[in-house]
Amino acid sequence: MTVNEAYLIYFSPTHTSKQVAEAIVHGTGIKNILPINVTQQIADEIVIPASALAVIVVPVYGGHVAPLAMERLRYIRGVDTPTVLVVVYGNRAYEKALMELDAFAIPHGLKVIAGATFIGEHSYSTDKHPIAVGRP
């Protein structure tokens, strides 16, 4: 089956998860990109078709998927839609965040085909206390 559109779904208050999401989708070569930015609002009810790729990228807070991100994804569904799951963390630890995202995806009809963790600059990084500056 040819996948010719990608849903770029992200929660990204300090823009790192957004950058990672965009780079991944860009790398697939898919031209038709449909962004769903849940940083400031909940996603509308949507069923992503099986002919599309879903890429979901969220940050890790306290070793979990950022709770607000989890909440704002809740009306997104698929129909065995191929889905890539990514958690972005600030070089401390991602603990079980990727598993949490996986536990969300499966009952929502999203068929997980890949998962990844990326290090991004920590939101609390400062000149005095740098953490993963400039990453990814």
Q: How far is CA 82 from the centre of its chain?
A: 14
In the structure encoding, which two tokens stand for residue 75, read together? Answer: 């009306």
Could you list the residues that contact ligand FMN (CB under 6 A)? 12-17, 59-63, 88-93, 120, 122-123
Beta carbon nearer to ligand FMN, 89 or 104: 89
Beta carbon nearer to ligand FMN, 82 or 120: 120
Range list of β-strands (E), 18-134: 32-37, 46-48, 53-61, 64-65, 76-78, 81-89, 110-119
Residues with Cβ within 8 Å of 4's Cβ and at least 6 positions away in sequence, in order, are 30, 31, 32, 51, 52
Does residue 95 contact residue 66 with C-beta atoms inside 8 Å? no
Beta carbon nearer to ligand FMN, 53 or 69: 69
Minimum distance between the CB of residue 109 and ligand FMN, rounded to whole angstroms?
A: 25
Minimum distance between the CB of residue 1 and ligand FMN, rounded to whole angstroms?
A: 31
Minimum distance between the CB of residue 60 and ligand FMN, rounded to whole angstroms?
A: 4
Beta carbon nearer to ligand FMN, 23 or 79: 23
Beta carbon nearer to ligand FMN, 20 or 105: 20
Minimum distance between the CB of residue 12 and ligand FMN, rounded to whole angstroms?
A: 3
Does residue 120 contact residue 12 with C-beta atoms inside 8 Å? no
- Rounded Cα gap, residues 93 and 72, in angstroms: 23
Minimum distance between the CB of residue 120 and ligand FMN, rounded to whole angstroms?
A: 3
